[in-house]
Amino acid sequence: MTRRLRVVLTGFGSVGRSLVKVIVSKRDLLAMKYRLRVDVVAVVDSKGTALKTEGFSDYELMKLCELPRSGVRMFEPYALDYVDMNHVYDETQPDVHAELTPSNYASGEPGSSNVLNAVRQGIHVVLANKAPLALRFSDVMSLALVKGVAVKFRATVMGGTPLIDTLTSMRSYEIVRVEGILNATTNFVLTKMHEELTDFREALGRAQALGVAEVDPSLDVEGVDAAAKLVILSNVVGRPVTLDKVYRESILDMPISEVVKALNHGNVIKHIARLDLRDGQASVRVDALPKTDPLARVGGTLNGVRVRTDVGELMLIGKGGGGFETAHSVLDDLLSIALRGDVSAR
């Protein structure tokens, strides 16, 4: 018998649309490998909702992806021109809520309310949105424990690479330090500055033209995004820090002369997020690393993390984000929930 996983998506931008496409493209693989069908029963953006209790067909899912931003309210006959998550849950009875709205570190909304509401109603949650966990990790996890639901969030840090799963699996290790490059935008900008000796503004403009940097890149260049990821990692490894306690240095308008100076000394400048578990200090700093350091060689939009333990060191290098890479992480989390056996055969 085929198991069915009924999923509601909030946020239908780059990650949401990629997730829908990945679900469609992996349909046969999931059926063959796990006898599992992932049904998208509702899609929600900032202006409206499209819901279908029995799940959208693959054709309908691809049509949804053709809609413009804020367009799901146009998806007749399944459209609503408002967002009411309780109504969505009542109509669709989902197994999982995938939270893919923007990471808003000022208020955490709408992600925090979405996540807490879903958990309160006994619905499993998968997040790519970092803010609810960066701001309210213990609230979310304690409620999830009480309610007996899973909250999975592999996509929030190193979206395209299984860092969180790796750290979670290291149960008998004493993790001493986690450090690395957690933001693709700043790494791209710094790499351009080193390789082409372009100044900060030109490198940032290049990143924006390629869609690597947002129109407003402040959360990235000021280290807020990396700090939020560090907060999530700190909770994963059991030494929680809060966002306001992460020391941050910005790379905004870093002069090219600093890059030249570093290069002349055999160094490379990197924006390094670091969590030291011995003293609980967390920081995002502009560091000059020797060229021979493996982190110094992590270039472009790649992320890289070094984990120091009582047993030894390991390095993980891979994609930090990107719609499709992140969507695969979200899908893996959905599958791990489905394969836990919490989802009944229907």
Hey, which residues are catalytic here? 229
Give the integer Cα–Cα distance in Å for 127 and 341.
20
Answer yes or no: are the C-beta atoms of 307 and 175 closer than 8 Å: yes
Give the integer Cα–Cα distance in Å for 12 and 17.
6
Of residues 221 through 280, those in contact with ligand NAP by CB under 6 A are none
Give the integer Cα–Cα distance in Å for 127 and 132.
9
**Kind plus residue range of the DSSP H or E element containing 217:** none
Among 2, 25, 70, 107, interactor with ligand NAP by CB under 6 A: 70
The distance of closest approach from Cβ of residue 50 to ligand NAP in the complex, given in angstroms and rounded to an integer, is: 12
Among 92, 101, 187, 303, interactor with ligand NAP by CB under 6 A: 101
Answer yes or no: are the C-beta atoms of 184 and 212 closer than 8 Å: yes
Cβ neighbourhood burial of 2 (10 Å; 0-12, 13-18, 19+): exposed
* Torsion on CA atoms 70, 74, 77, 81, rounded to nearest 10: 60
Among 92, 103, 185, 267, interactor with ligand NAP by CB under 6 A: 103
The residue sitting closest to ligand NAP, measured at its beta carbon, is 13
Contact between 132 and ligand NAP per CB under 6 A: no
Angle of CA points 102, 286, 105, to nearest 5°: 20
Among 96, 100, 175, 277, interactor with ligand NAP by CB under 6 A: 100
Among 5, 8, 9, 15, interactor with ligand NAP by CB under 6 A: 15
The distance of closest approach from Cβ of residue 345 to ligand NAP in the complex, given in angstroms and rounded to an integer, is: 31
The distance of closest approach from Cβ of residue 105 to ligand NAP in the complex, given in angstroms and rounded to an integer, is: 10
Contact between 108 and ligand NAP per CB under 6 A: no
Q: Which residues bind ligand NAP (CB under 6 A)?
A: 10-16, 44-47, 69-70, 83, 100-103, 110, 128-130, 155, 159, 321-323, 326
